[in-house]
Amino acid sequence: MRLAALVLAAALAPQPATAGAVDAFLAFSAGARTATARFEQSVVDRDGRTVERSTGSFAFSRPGRFRWAYDKPAATLIVADGERLWLYDEDLNQVTVRAMDRALGATPAALLAGQGDVTAAFTLREAGRAGGLDWLEATPRAPDTGFDRVRIGMKGEVPAAMELHDALGGRTELRFESFRVGARPAPGTFRFEPPKGADVLDETAPQPGQGSPRKP
């Protein structure tokens, strides 16, 4: 899953590391039970070219519930209800359902809305100051997560940016706006019902011989 977008100005070289980004993020993780925000996302290839831009909104409610909605250029919705994660591609009219423990794990979504101690899934370290933000770097402890590391830019005790770096040298960059810690998402924000006629791929269903498939 792409969670991502802050483009740093080329003229701004990173400043010497400052203590506090990790502590600020841990304070956010421990204290922010709910939040909402808007985001801008850019996907950058290994040559530094921006190949995709998108915008959207997200909300979370700990533990393990979040809603990530892309509105431009293509409508895509990701909803986690605490037990299952739903991925809806409006253009394809297709829904994919996954178990939460398989879908989150050591993912960027777990950094913002995960259940439990983030340091159990990630190694955190200070990563300096640049662009007016204090940065930390999160490296997944588990292998095969689809990315090498995540950089998070903190503004006070609120995340203002994330960068997801993959093994091929590309990255996804996110810039957050109107980040409201403590905001109360509307009722139904973390519930999802597949639209009529949608093609539903249920990856929570057991393999043959393991019992009856679980219907979404």
Q: Which of 159, 142, 147, 83 is nearest to 115 (CA)?
A: 83
Q: SS3 string of the chain?
A: CCCCCCCCCCCCCCECCCCCHHHHHHHHHHHCCEEEEEEEEEEECCCCCEEEEEEEEEEEECCCEEEEEEEECCCEEEEEECCEEEEEECCCCEEEEEEHHHHCCCCHHHHHHCCCCHHHCEEEEEEEEECCEEEEEEEECCCCCCCCEEEEEEECCEEEEEEEECCCCCEEEEEEEEEEECCCCCCCCCCCCCCCCCEEEECCCCCCCCCCCCCC
pLDDT of residue 208: 53
pTM, rounded to two decimals: 0.79
- Listed as ranges, residues in the chain with pLDDT below 70 are 1-19, 102-108, 114-116, 144-145, 206-216
CB-CB neighbours of 128 under 10 Å:
17
* pLDDT number for residue 115: 63
Model pLDDT, residue 97: 94
Q: Which domains does the chain have, with CATH numbers?
A: 21-202 (2.50.20.10)
Specify the pLDDT at position 122: 87
What Cα–Cα distance (Å) separates residue 42 from each residue in 81, 104, 166?
26, 22, 14
pLDDT digits (tens, 9 = 90+) for 59-74: 999 888 889 999 877 7
pLDDT in tens, 109-136: 777 876 667 888 889 999 999 999 999 9
Return d(Cα 202, Cα 206) in angstroms, integer.
9
